[in-house]
Protein backbone atom coordinates (compact mmCIF):
# COMPACT_ATOMS: atom_id res chain seq x y z
CA UNK A 1 0.00 0.00 0.00
CA UNK A 2 1.33 3.41 -0.89
CA UNK A 3 -1.50 5.38 0.70
CA UNK A 4 -2.83 5.62 4.21
CA UNK A 5 -6.53 6.44 4.37
CA UNK A 6 -7.73 7.66 7.76
CA UNK A 7 -11.43 7.50 8.52
CA UNK A 8 -13.88 8.88 11.07
CA UNK A 9 -14.53 6.06 13.58
CA UNK A 10 -18.13 7.28 14.06
CA UNK A 11 -19.10 7.34 10.37
CA UNK A 12 -16.32 5.73 8.29
CA UNK A 13 -16.12 8.99 6.29
CA UNK A 14 -12.62 9.53 4.85
CA UNK A 15 -10.78 12.19 6.87
CA UNK A 16 -7.44 12.26 5.04
CA UNK A 17 -5.22 10.40 2.62
CA UNK A 18 -1.52 10.41 3.46
CA UNK A 19 1.55 8.71 2.02
CA UNK A 20 3.02 5.51 3.36
CA UNK A 21 6.68 6.45 3.66
CA UNK A 22 9.18 3.87 2.45
CA UNK A 23 12.34 2.90 4.34
CA UNK A 24 14.36 5.07 1.95
CA UNK A 25 12.13 8.10 2.48
CA UNK A 26 12.28 7.65 6.25
CA UNK A 27 16.09 7.59 6.08
CA UNK A 28 16.10 10.77 3.98
CA UNK A 29 13.81 12.54 6.45
CA UNK A 30 16.02 11.51 9.38
CA UNK A 31 19.09 12.75 7.45
CA UNK A 32 17.35 16.10 6.92
CA UNK A 33 16.52 16.25 10.64
CA UNK A 34 20.23 15.68 11.38
CA UNK A 35 21.17 18.70 9.25
CA UNK A 36 18.50 20.81 10.94
CA UNK A 37 19.83 19.70 14.35
CA UNK A 38 22.91 21.89 13.88
CA UNK A 39 20.72 24.99 13.45
CA UNK A 40 18.31 24.02 16.21
CA UNK A 41 21.11 23.41 18.69
CA UNK A 42 22.74 26.72 17.79
CA UNK A 43 19.54 28.56 18.78
CA UNK A 44 20.32 27.82 22.42
CA UNK A 45 17.68 27.68 25.12
CA UNK A 46 16.50 31.23 24.47
CA UNK A 47 16.04 30.71 20.74
CA UNK A 48 14.28 27.41 21.24
CA UNK A 49 12.04 28.94 23.88
CA UNK A 50 10.97 31.63 21.40
CA UNK A 51 10.26 29.05 18.69
CA UNK A 52 8.37 26.70 21.00
CA UNK A 53 6.24 29.51 22.42
CA UNK A 54 5.45 30.73 18.89
CA UNK A 55 4.34 27.18 18.05
CA UNK A 56 2.22 27.08 21.21
CA UNK A 57 0.49 30.36 20.32
CA UNK A 58 -0.14 29.20 16.76
CA UNK A 59 -1.79 26.00 17.98
CA UNK A 60 -3.95 27.89 20.47
CA UNK A 61 -5.02 30.52 17.93
CA UNK A 62 -6.03 27.83 15.43
CA UNK A 63 -7.46 25.45 18.04
CA UNK A 64 -10.92 25.39 16.46
CA UNK A 65 -9.48 23.66 13.37
CA UNK A 66 -7.46 21.18 15.41
CA UNK A 67 -10.29 20.32 17.82
CA UNK A 68 -12.60 19.67 14.87
CA UNK A 69 -10.00 17.40 13.27
CA UNK A 70 -9.48 15.54 16.56
CA UNK A 71 -13.23 15.02 16.82
CA UNK A 72 -13.44 13.69 13.28
CA UNK A 73 -10.36 11.51 13.14
CA UNK A 74 -10.20 10.16 16.71
CA UNK A 75 -13.94 10.33 17.51
CA UNK A 76 -13.64 12.06 20.89
CA UNK A 77 -16.10 14.82 21.84
CA UNK A 78 -14.89 18.34 21.05
CA UNK A 79 -14.69 19.28 24.73
CA UNK A 80 -12.45 16.27 25.41
CA UNK A 81 -10.25 17.31 22.49
CA UNK A 82 -10.06 20.81 23.98
CA UNK A 83 -9.09 19.43 27.39
CA UNK A 84 -6.44 17.22 25.83
CA UNK A 85 -5.07 20.21 23.95
CA UNK A 86 -4.96 22.34 27.10
CA UNK A 87 -2.84 19.75 28.85
CA UNK A 88 -0.48 19.44 25.88
CA UNK A 89 -0.10 23.21 25.67
CA UNK A 90 0.84 23.32 29.38
CA UNK A 91 3.66 20.90 28.60
CA UNK A 92 4.97 22.90 25.61
CA UNK A 93 4.93 26.05 27.72
CA UNK A 94 6.67 24.41 30.71
CA UNK A 95 9.39 22.78 28.61
CA UNK A 96 10.06 25.94 26.63
CA UNK A 97 10.48 27.98 29.80
CA UNK A 98 12.24 25.47 32.07
CA UNK A 99 14.67 23.60 29.80
CA UNK A 100 17.47 26.16 30.19
CA UNK A 101 17.34 25.99 33.97
CA UNK A 102 16.86 22.23 34.31
CA UNK A 103 19.62 21.42 31.81
CA UNK A 104 22.10 24.11 32.84
CA UNK A 105 25.65 22.82 33.37
CA UNK A 106 26.21 21.68 36.96
CA UNK A 107 29.39 22.21 38.95
CA UNK A 108 30.66 19.13 40.76
CA UNK A 109 33.36 18.75 43.43
CA UNK A 110 36.61 17.42 41.90
CA UNK A 111 37.62 15.57 45.10
CA UNK A 112 40.85 15.58 47.12
CA UNK A 113 43.13 13.78 44.62
CA UNK A 114 42.39 16.18 41.77
CA UNK A 115 41.73 19.31 43.79
CA UNK A 116 43.50 21.45 41.16
CA UNK A 117 40.70 20.64 38.69
CA UNK A 118 37.26 22.09 38.17
CA UNK A 119 34.51 19.66 37.28
CA UNK A 120 31.14 20.09 35.61
CA UNK A 121 28.40 18.07 33.98
CA UNK A 122 26.73 19.26 30.79
CA UNK A 123 23.45 17.95 29.41
CA UNK A 124 23.85 17.46 25.69
CA UNK A 125 21.02 16.72 23.25
CA UNK A 126 21.19 13.35 21.48
CA UNK A 127 20.73 14.83 18.00
CA UNK A 128 17.69 13.32 16.24
CA UNK A 129 14.94 11.72 18.30
CA UNK A 130 12.35 9.44 16.69
CA UNK A 131 8.90 9.52 18.29
CA UNK A 132 6.27 6.83 17.65
CA UNK A 133 2.87 7.68 19.09
CA UNK A 134 -0.53 6.10 19.71
CA UNK A 135 -4.03 7.27 18.72
CA UNK A 136 -5.85 7.56 22.06
CA UNK A 137 -4.51 11.02 22.97
CA UNK A 138 -3.10 11.89 19.55
CA UNK A 139 -1.73 15.29 20.64
CA UNK A 140 -1.08 15.02 24.39
CA UNK A 141 0.72 11.70 24.32
CA UNK A 142 3.30 12.21 21.56
CA UNK A 143 3.68 15.83 22.65
CA UNK A 144 5.00 14.55 26.01
CA UNK A 145 8.05 13.28 24.16
CA UNK A 146 8.18 15.77 21.28
CA UNK A 147 7.99 19.06 23.21
CA UNK A 148 10.50 17.72 25.73
CA UNK A 149 12.95 16.43 23.14
CA UNK A 150 12.77 19.70 21.15
CA UNK A 151 13.24 21.87 24.25
CA UNK A 152 16.27 19.80 25.19
CA UNK A 153 17.81 20.67 21.80
CA UNK A 154 17.02 17.64 19.63
CA UNK A 155 15.24 17.64 16.33
CA UNK A 156 12.35 15.17 16.07
CA UNK A 157 10.91 12.82 13.46
CA UNK A 158 7.37 11.87 14.45
CA UNK A 159 5.38 8.84 13.30
CA UNK A 160 1.75 9.14 14.45
CA UNK A 161 -0.58 6.13 14.64
CA UNK A 162 -2.19 4.99 11.40
CA UNK A 163 -5.53 5.86 13.09
CA UNK A 164 -4.68 9.54 13.67
CA UNK A 165 -2.14 10.61 11.01
CA UNK A 166 -3.95 13.80 9.95
CA UNK A 167 -3.87 15.09 13.53
CA UNK A 168 -0.13 14.36 13.59
CA UNK A 169 0.32 16.22 10.29
CA UNK A 170 -1.58 19.28 11.59
CA UNK A 171 0.57 19.41 14.73
CA UNK A 172 3.84 19.15 12.78
CA UNK A 173 2.78 21.68 10.13
CA UNK A 174 1.83 24.11 12.91
CA UNK A 175 5.48 24.20 14.03
CA UNK A 176 6.67 25.19 10.55
CA UNK A 177 3.86 27.75 10.16
CA UNK A 178 4.80 29.38 13.46
CA UNK A 179 8.54 29.33 12.68
CA UNK A 180 8.98 30.14 8.96
CA UNK A 181 12.69 30.96 9.46
CA UNK A 182 13.46 27.46 10.77
CA UNK A 183 15.02 25.03 8.29
CA UNK A 184 13.00 22.01 7.21
CA UNK A 185 13.61 19.13 9.61
CA UNK A 186 13.34 20.58 13.11
CA UNK A 187 10.07 18.69 13.52
CA UNK A 188 9.22 16.25 10.71
CA UNK A 189 6.40 13.84 10.00
CA UNK A 190 6.45 10.34 8.59
CA UNK A 191 3.23 8.42 8.04
CA UNK A 192 2.33 4.83 7.43
CA UNK A 193 1.66 1.60 9.28
CA UNK A 194 3.75 -0.41 11.74
CA UNK A 195 6.47 -1.00 9.12
CA UNK A 196 7.05 2.75 8.86
CA UNK A 197 7.56 2.87 12.63
CA UNK A 198 9.97 -0.05 12.37
CA UNK A 199 11.82 1.81 9.57
CA UNK A 200 12.23 4.82 11.87
CA UNK A 201 13.97 2.60 14.46
CA UNK A 202 16.52 1.62 11.79
CA UNK A 203 16.90 5.00 10.07
CA UNK A 204 19.76 6.38 12.14
CA UNK A 205 17.91 8.17 14.95
CA UNK A 206 19.92 8.76 18.14
CA UNK A 207 17.07 7.93 20.51
CA UNK A 208 13.59 6.49 20.09
CA UNK A 209 10.61 7.42 22.26
CA UNK A 210 7.79 4.94 21.91
CA UNK A 211 4.27 5.19 23.33
CA UNK A 212 1.95 2.28 22.68
CA UNK A 213 1.23 -1.27 23.71
CA UNK A 214 3.70 -3.57 25.47
CA UNK A 215 3.58 -6.03 22.55
CA UNK A 216 4.62 -3.40 19.99
CA UNK A 217 7.07 -1.89 22.48
CA UNK A 218 9.06 -5.10 22.61
CA UNK A 219 9.21 -5.18 18.78
CA UNK A 220 10.45 -1.59 18.76
CA UNK A 221 13.10 -2.42 21.36
CA UNK A 222 14.27 -5.38 19.28
CA UNK A 223 14.59 -3.19 16.17
CA UNK A 224 16.45 -0.49 18.12
CA UNK A 225 18.75 -3.09 19.70
CA UNK A 226 20.21 -3.88 16.24
CA UNK A 227 22.05 -0.55 16.28
CA UNK A 228 22.03 0.08 20.05
CA UNK A 229 19.60 2.98 19.74
CA UNK A 230 18.48 3.89 23.29
CA UNK A 231 14.75 3.86 23.91
CA UNK A 232 12.15 5.27 26.26
CA UNK A 233 9.07 3.07 26.54
CA UNK A 234 5.68 4.46 27.61
CA UNK A 235 3.42 1.42 27.53
CA UNK A 236 0.06 0.25 28.73
CA UNK A 237 -1.45 0.13 32.19
CA UNK A 238 -3.97 -1.68 34.37
CA UNK A 239 -4.44 1.03 36.93
CA UNK A 240 -6.23 0.37 40.19
CA UNK A 241 -8.11 2.69 42.53
CA UNK A 242 -8.19 1.77 46.20
CA UNK A 243 -11.23 2.98 48.15
CA UNK A 244 -10.73 2.86 51.92
CA UNK A 245 -13.59 2.72 54.38
CA UNK A 246 -12.76 6.25 55.57
CA UNK A 247 -12.96 7.79 52.07
CA UNK A 248 -15.53 10.31 50.85
CA UNK A 249 -17.41 7.56 49.00
CA UNK A 250 -19.57 9.77 46.78
CA UNK A 251 -16.57 11.81 45.63
CA UNK A 252 -14.54 8.63 45.07
CA UNK A 253 -17.31 7.09 42.92
CA UNK A 254 -17.64 10.27 40.88
CA UNK A 255 -13.88 10.51 40.22
CA UNK A 256 -13.53 6.80 39.44
CA UNK A 257 -16.44 6.90 36.98
CA UNK A 258 -14.57 9.61 35.07
CA UNK A 259 -11.16 7.93 35.38
CA UNK A 260 -12.57 4.67 34.02
CA UNK A 261 -14.98 5.80 31.31
CA UNK A 262 -13.57 9.07 29.91
CA UNK A 263 -12.26 8.74 26.36
CA UNK A 264 -14.14 5.38 26.14
CA UNK A 265 -11.66 4.02 28.66
CA UNK A 266 -8.93 4.35 26.03
CA UNK A 267 -6.51 5.96 28.47
CA UNK A 268 -3.18 4.41 29.44
CA UNK A 269 -3.57 5.85 32.96
CA UNK A 270 -7.34 5.19 33.10
CA UNK A 271 -8.79 3.32 36.09
CA UNK A 272 -9.60 -0.27 35.12
CA UNK A 273 -9.86 -1.89 38.58
CA UNK A 274 -11.26 -0.85 41.97
CA UNK A 275 -10.49 -2.43 45.35
CA UNK A 276 -13.02 -1.32 47.94
CA UNK A 277 -13.18 -2.20 51.63
CA UNK A 278 -16.11 -4.51 52.44
CA UNK A 279 -17.75 -2.13 54.95
CA UNK A 280 -18.37 0.55 52.31
CA UNK A 281 -18.73 -1.72 49.26
CA UNK A 282 -22.51 -1.40 48.89
CA UNK A 283 -22.49 2.36 49.41
CA UNK A 284 -19.68 2.71 46.86
CA UNK A 285 -21.50 0.52 44.30
CA UNK A 286 -24.69 2.56 44.71
CA UNK A 287 -22.80 5.85 44.20
CA UNK A 288 -20.84 4.42 41.27
CA UNK A 289 -24.02 3.18 39.59
CA UNK A 290 -25.55 6.66 39.95
CA UNK A 291 -22.38 8.33 38.60
CA UNK A 292 -22.16 5.95 35.65
CA UNK A 293 -25.87 6.04 34.80
CA UNK A 294 -25.56 9.56 33.44
CA UNK A 295 -22.77 8.57 31.06
CA UNK A 296 -23.58 7.85 27.43
CA UNK A 297 -21.32 7.40 24.42
CA UNK A 298 -22.10 9.04 21.10
CA UNK A 299 -21.00 11.52 18.51
CA UNK A 300 -23.32 14.43 19.26
CA UNK A 301 -22.69 17.44 21.51
CA UNK A 302 -24.11 15.69 24.60
CA UNK A 303 -21.96 12.55 24.31
CA UNK A 304 -19.84 11.72 27.37
CA UNK A 305 -17.33 9.97 25.17
CA UNK A 306 -17.00 8.86 21.57
CA UNK A 307 -16.72 5.61 19.63
CA UNK A 308 -13.92 3.10 20.03
CA UNK A 309 -11.19 4.61 17.86
CA UNK A 310 -9.62 1.31 16.85
CA UNK A 311 -12.24 -1.29 15.81
CA UNK A 312 -10.04 -4.29 16.74
CA UNK A 313 -10.09 -3.17 20.40
CA UNK A 314 -13.83 -3.95 20.62
CA UNK A 315 -13.15 -7.70 20.44
CA UNK A 316 -10.65 -7.42 23.32
CA UNK A 317 -13.17 -5.55 25.49
CA UNK A 318 -15.83 -8.19 24.73
CA UNK A 319 -13.45 -11.02 25.65
CA UNK A 320 -12.55 -9.38 28.97
CA UNK A 321 -16.19 -8.70 29.92
CA UNK A 322 -17.26 -12.25 29.07
CA UNK A 323 -14.25 -13.71 30.84
CA UNK A 324 -14.91 -11.63 33.98
CA UNK A 325 -18.50 -12.88 34.16
CA UNK A 326 -17.53 -16.50 33.39
CA UNK A 327 -14.94 -16.31 36.19
CA UNK A 328 -17.67 -15.57 38.76
CA UNK A 329 -18.14 -11.80 38.36
CA UNK A 330 -21.56 -10.13 38.41
CA UNK A 331 -22.40 -7.37 35.94
CA UNK A 332 -23.82 -4.53 38.06
CA UNK A 333 -23.88 -1.96 35.24
CA UNK A 334 -24.27 -3.08 31.62
CA UNK A 335 -22.74 -6.32 30.37
CA UNK A 336 -21.86 -7.99 27.07
CA UNK A 337 -24.97 -6.35 25.55
CA UNK A 338 -23.37 -2.92 26.14
CA UNK A 339 -20.80 -3.64 23.44
CA UNK A 340 -21.95 -2.34 20.07
CA UNK A 341 -20.27 -2.18 16.69
CA UNK A 342 -18.73 1.25 17.28
CA UNK A 343 -19.73 2.34 20.77
CA UNK A 344 -19.47 0.63 24.13
CA UNK A 345 -21.72 1.75 27.00
CA UNK A 346 -20.25 1.60 30.53
CA UNK A 347 -19.82 -1.84 32.09
CA UNK A 348 -19.10 -2.48 35.79
CA UNK A 349 -18.40 -6.01 37.01
CA UNK A 350 -18.30 -6.98 40.67
CA UNK A 351 -15.82 -9.52 42.03
CA UNK A 352 -14.45 -11.32 38.96
CA UNK A 353 -11.67 -13.85 39.63
CA UNK A 354 -8.26 -12.26 40.17
CA UNK A 355 -6.91 -14.48 37.38
CA UNK A 356 -9.46 -13.27 34.79
CA UNK A 357 -8.22 -11.31 31.77
CA UNK A 358 -10.34 -8.33 32.92
CA UNK A 359 -8.00 -8.05 35.92
CA UNK A 360 -4.68 -9.14 34.43
CA UNK A 361 -4.66 -7.58 30.91
CA UNK A 362 -5.15 -4.04 29.66
CA UNK A 363 -8.79 -3.72 28.52
CA UNK A 364 -8.71 -0.18 27.09
CA UNK A 365 -12.48 0.21 27.08
CA UNK A 366 -15.19 1.82 29.27
CA UNK A 367 -15.29 -1.06 31.73
CA UNK A 368 -14.43 -1.36 35.40
CA UNK A 369 -14.00 -4.26 37.78
CA UNK A 370 -14.84 -3.76 41.46
CA UNK A 371 -13.29 -6.20 43.92
CA UNK A 372 -14.35 -6.39 47.57
CA UNK A 373 -11.48 -6.63 50.04
CA UNK A 374 -11.34 -7.27 53.79
CA UNK A 375 -8.42 -4.92 54.44
CA UNK A 376 -6.26 -2.25 52.86
CA UNK A 377 -3.33 -4.69 52.93
CA UNK A 378 -5.33 -7.07 50.74
CA UNK A 379 -6.24 -4.18 48.43
CA UNK A 380 -2.57 -3.23 47.99
CA UNK A 381 -1.50 -6.83 47.45
CA UNK A 382 -4.10 -7.40 44.71
CA UNK A 383 -3.52 -3.99 43.12
CA UNK A 384 0.20 -4.76 42.79
CA UNK A 385 -0.30 -8.30 41.53
CA UNK A 386 -0.49 -7.52 37.78
CA UNK A 387 2.28 -7.27 35.17
CA UNK A 388 1.73 -3.51 34.74
CA UNK A 389 2.83 -0.64 36.96
CA UNK A 390 1.86 2.68 35.44
CA UNK A 391 -0.40 4.70 37.76
CA UNK A 392 -3.16 4.42 40.31
CA UNK A 393 -5.46 6.26 42.69
CA UNK A 394 -6.09 6.17 46.43
CA UNK A 395 -9.22 7.42 48.17
CA UNK A 396 -8.87 7.75 51.93
CA UNK A 397 -9.02 10.48 54.57
CA UNK A 398 -6.44 8.96 56.92
CA UNK A 399 -4.53 6.15 55.21
CA UNK A 400 -3.51 7.65 51.86
CA UNK A 401 0.18 8.07 52.69
CA UNK A 402 0.64 4.46 53.81
CA UNK A 403 -1.14 3.11 50.73
CA UNK A 404 0.90 5.36 48.40
CA UNK A 405 4.06 4.02 50.05
CA UNK A 406 3.10 0.43 49.19
CA UNK A 407 1.63 0.80 45.69
CA UNK A 408 4.08 -0.39 43.06
CA UNK A 409 3.29 2.22 40.40
CA UNK A 410 5.07 5.32 39.18
CA UNK A 411 2.20 7.86 39.37
CA UNK A 412 -0.51 8.05 42.01
CA UNK A 413 -3.43 10.43 42.49
CA UNK A 414 -4.77 10.87 46.01
CA UNK A 415 -8.52 11.54 46.39
CA UNK A 416 -8.64 12.18 42.65
CA UNK A 417 -7.79 10.56 39.34
CA UNK A 418 -5.29 11.47 36.61
CA UNK A 419 -4.11 14.64 38.38
CA UNK A 420 -0.43 13.96 37.70
CA UNK A 421 -0.94 13.98 33.90
CA UNK A 422 -1.98 17.62 33.93
CA UNK A 423 1.08 18.80 35.84
CA UNK A 424 3.90 19.58 33.48
CA UNK A 425 6.47 19.53 36.31
CA UNK A 426 5.80 15.89 37.23
CA UNK A 427 7.51 12.96 35.47
CA UNK A 428 5.50 10.17 33.79
CA UNK A 429 6.60 6.62 33.14
CA UNK A 430 6.13 3.02 34.16
CA UNK A 431 7.68 -0.21 35.36
CA UNK A 432 7.28 -3.79 34.17
CA UNK A 433 4.93 -4.10 31.19
CA UNK A 434 4.21 -0.37 31.51
CA UNK A 435 7.70 0.44 30.25
CA UNK A 436 10.65 2.46 31.49
CA UNK A 437 12.26 5.84 31.15
CA UNK A 438 10.48 9.10 31.85
CA UNK A 439 8.77 11.84 29.89
CA UNK A 440 7.44 15.15 31.32
CA UNK A 441 9.07 17.35 33.93
CA UNK A 442 12.79 17.73 34.67
CA UNK A 443 13.23 13.93 34.46
CA UNK A 444 11.77 14.01 30.93
CA UNK A 445 14.13 16.77 29.83
CA UNK A 446 17.10 14.78 31.14
CA UNK A 447 15.80 11.64 29.38
CA UNK A 448 16.35 13.42 26.06
CA UNK A 449 19.95 14.40 26.79
CA UNK A 450 23.13 12.55 27.57
CA UNK A 451 25.60 13.75 30.16
CA UNK A 452 29.03 15.09 29.26
CA UNK A 453 31.49 15.23 32.18
CA UNK A 454 34.17 17.90 31.77
CA UNK A 455 37.27 17.91 34.04
CA UNK A 456 39.50 20.99 33.57
CA UNK A 457 42.92 21.32 35.15
CA UNK A 458 42.98 24.88 36.49
CA UNK A 459 46.69 24.98 37.42
CA UNK A 460 49.51 22.42 37.82
CA UNK A 461 50.70 21.58 41.36
CA UNK A 462 54.48 21.89 41.24
CA UNK A 463 56.14 18.48 41.70
CA UNK A 464 52.82 16.60 41.87
CA UNK A 465 52.25 15.20 38.40
CA UNK A 466 49.76 12.50 39.29
CA UNK A 467 48.63 11.70 35.73
CA UNK A 468 52.06 11.48 34.13
CA UNK A 469 54.79 8.87 33.52
CA UNK A 470 57.10 11.55 34.92
CA UNK A 471 55.55 11.15 38.39
CA UNK A 472 58.19 11.72 41.13
CA UNK A 473 59.55 8.74 43.10
CA UNK A 474 58.51 10.24 46.45
CA UNK A 475 54.94 10.46 45.14
CA UNK A 476 54.95 6.79 44.13
CA UNK A 477 56.09 5.89 47.69
CA UNK A 478 53.56 8.24 49.26
CA UNK A 479 50.48 7.06 47.30
CA UNK A 480 49.99 3.68 49.08
CA UNK A 481 50.20 5.47 52.44
CA UNK A 482 47.74 8.10 51.25
CA UNK A 483 45.30 5.36 50.17
CA UNK A 484 45.45 3.76 53.63
CA UNK A 485 45.06 7.13 55.33
CA UNK A 486 42.12 8.20 53.17
CA UNK A 487 40.13 4.96 53.00
CA UNK A 488 41.67 2.32 55.28
CA UNK A 489 40.87 3.74 58.69
P1 LIG B 1 0.32 0.19 19.33
O2 LIG B 1 1.37 -0.43 20.15
O3 LIG B 1 -0.55 -0.66 18.51
O4 LIG B 1 0.94 1.27 18.33
C5 LIG B 1 1.71 2.36 18.77
C6 LIG B 1 2.47 2.93 17.61
O7 LIG B 1 3.45 1.98 17.17
C8 LIG B 1 1.62 3.26 16.40
O9 LIG B 1 2.10 4.44 15.81
C10 LIG B 1 1.88 2.06 15.52
O11 LIG B 1 1.67 2.33 14.16
C12 LIG B 1 3.34 1.81 15.77
N13 LIG B 1 3.80 0.47 15.41
C14 LIG B 1 3.08 -0.66 15.21
N15 LIG B 1 3.89 -1.71 14.91
C16 LIG B 1 5.17 -1.23 14.92
C17 LIG B 1 6.46 -1.81 14.71
N18 LIG B 1 6.61 -3.10 14.43
N19 LIG B 1 7.54 -1.01 14.83
C20 LIG B 1 7.42 0.30 15.15
N21 LIG B 1 6.22 0.91 15.34
C22 LIG B 1 5.10 0.16 15.24
O23 LIG B 1 -0.51 1.06 20.37
P24 LIG B 1 -1.85 1.85 20.12
O25 LIG B 1 -1.67 2.86 19.05
O26 LIG B 1 -2.93 0.84 20.00
O27 LIG B 1 -1.98 2.65 21.49
C28 LIG B 1 -2.57 2.12 22.60
C29 LIG B 1 -1.54 1.66 23.61
O30 LIG B 1 -0.73 2.75 23.99
C31 LIG B 1 -2.15 1.17 24.89
O32 LIG B 1 -1.50 0.01 25.35
C33 LIG B 1 -1.92 2.31 25.85
O34 LIG B 1 -1.94 1.94 27.20
C35 LIG B 1 -0.59 2.80 25.41
N36 LIG B 1 -0.37 4.17 25.85
C37 LIG B 1 0.58 4.42 26.81
C38 LIG B 1 0.78 5.69 27.29
C39 LIG B 1 1.85 6.00 28.31
O40 LIG B 1 2.21 7.16 28.46
N41 LIG B 1 2.39 5.04 29.04
C42 LIG B 1 -0.02 6.81 26.80
C43 LIG B 1 -0.97 6.46 25.80
C44 LIG B 1 -1.11 5.17 25.35
P45 LIG B 1 0.27 1.99 13.46
O46 LIG B 1 -0.80 2.57 14.33
O47 LIG B 1 0.42 2.70 12.19
O48 LIG B 1 0.19 0.49 13.40
Catalytic annotation present for 322 = no
Task: Report the pocket of ligand 1 as residue ranges, CB < 6 Å.
Answer: 132-137, 141, 159, 161-163, 193-194, 197-198, 211-213, 216, 219-220, 234-237, 268, 310, 362, 364, 390, 428, 430, 435
**What is the CA(136)–ligand 1 centre distance, in A?**
9
Q: pLDDT tier at 340 (50, 70, 90 boundaries)?
A: very high
Report angle CA 204, 94, 42 to the nearest 5 degrees.
45
State percent of the chain over pLDDT 90: 97
Q: pLDDT tier at 393 (50, 70, 90 boundaries)?
A: very high
Say whether pLDDT at 7 is over 90: yes
**What is the CA(134)–ligand 1 centre distance, in A?**
4
CA–CA dist 115, 110 (Å, integer):
6
CA–CA dist 239, 388 (Å, integer):
8
Are the folds of 3-235+439-450 and 239-423 the same? no
Residue 347 is predicted with a pLDDT of: 98
**What is the CA(108)–ligand 1 centre distance, in A?**
40
CA–CA dist 130, 158 (Å, integer):
6
- Supply the CATH classification number for the domain 3-235+439-450: 3.40.605.10
Q: pLDDT tens across 120-155, in order?
A: 999 999 999 999 999 999 999 999 999 999 999 999
CA–CA dist 138, 338 (Å, integer):
26
Residue 474 is predicted with a pLDDT of: 95
Which fold is adopted by the domain 239-423? Aldehyde Dehydrogenase; Chain A, domain 2 (3.40.309)
What secondary structure letter does DSSP report for 264? G
Catalytic annotation present for 405 = no
Residue 2 is predicted with a pLDDT of: 87
Q: Which of 199, 212, 315, 427 to mutate to test the pocket of ligand 1 (most atoms within 8 A of CB)?
A: 212
Q: pLDDT tier at 172 (50, 70, 90 boundaries)?
A: very high
Give the burial class of 462: count Cβ atoms within 10 A of its Cβ; 0-12 exposed, 13-18 middle, 19 or more buried: exposed
Residue 292 is predicted with a pLDDT of: 96
**Choice among 73, 90, 162, 234 that is catalytic:** 234
151 three-state secondary structure: helix
Q: pLDDT tier at 311 (50, 70, 90 boundaries)?
A: confident
**What is the CA(312)–ligand 1 centre distance, in A?**
13
CA–CA dist 57, 89 (Å, integer):
9
CA–CA dist 324, 357 (Å, integer):
7
Residue 475 is predicted with a pLDDT of: 95
Q: What is the mean pLDDT of the chain?
A: 97
SS3 content of the chain, % helix, strand, coil (to 5): 45, 20, 35
**What residue segments make up the domains of the chain, in order of their start?**
3-235+439-450, 239-423, 459-488
CA–CA dist 257, 327 (Å, integer):
23
Residue 57 is predicted with a pLDDT of: 98
Question: What does the pLDDT average to over 458-462?
Answer: 94
Question: What does the pLDDT average to over 460-482?
Answer: 94
CA-wise closest residue to 158 among 184, 186, 195, 116? 186
Contact 422, 218 (CB under 8 A): no
Q: pLDDT tens across 218-275, in order?
A: 999 999 999 999 999 999 999 999 999 999 999 999 999 999 999 999 999 999 999 9
Say whether pLDDT at 1 is over 80: no
**Choice among 73, 224, 268, 277 that is catalytic:** 268
Amino acid sequence: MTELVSTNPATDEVVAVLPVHTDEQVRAIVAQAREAAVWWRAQGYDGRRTALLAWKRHIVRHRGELVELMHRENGKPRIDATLELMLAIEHIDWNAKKAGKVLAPEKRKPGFLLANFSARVEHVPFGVVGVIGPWNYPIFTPNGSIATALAAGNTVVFKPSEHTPAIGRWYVEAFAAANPEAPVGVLSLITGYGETGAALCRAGVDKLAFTGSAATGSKVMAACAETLVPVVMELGGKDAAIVAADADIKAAADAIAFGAMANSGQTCVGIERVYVEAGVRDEFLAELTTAVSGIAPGSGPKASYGPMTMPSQIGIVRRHVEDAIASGGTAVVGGPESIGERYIAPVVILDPAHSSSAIQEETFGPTLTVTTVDSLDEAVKLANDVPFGLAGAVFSRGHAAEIVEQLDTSQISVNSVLGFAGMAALPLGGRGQSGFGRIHGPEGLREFTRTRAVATQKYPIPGVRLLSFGRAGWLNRFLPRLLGWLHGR
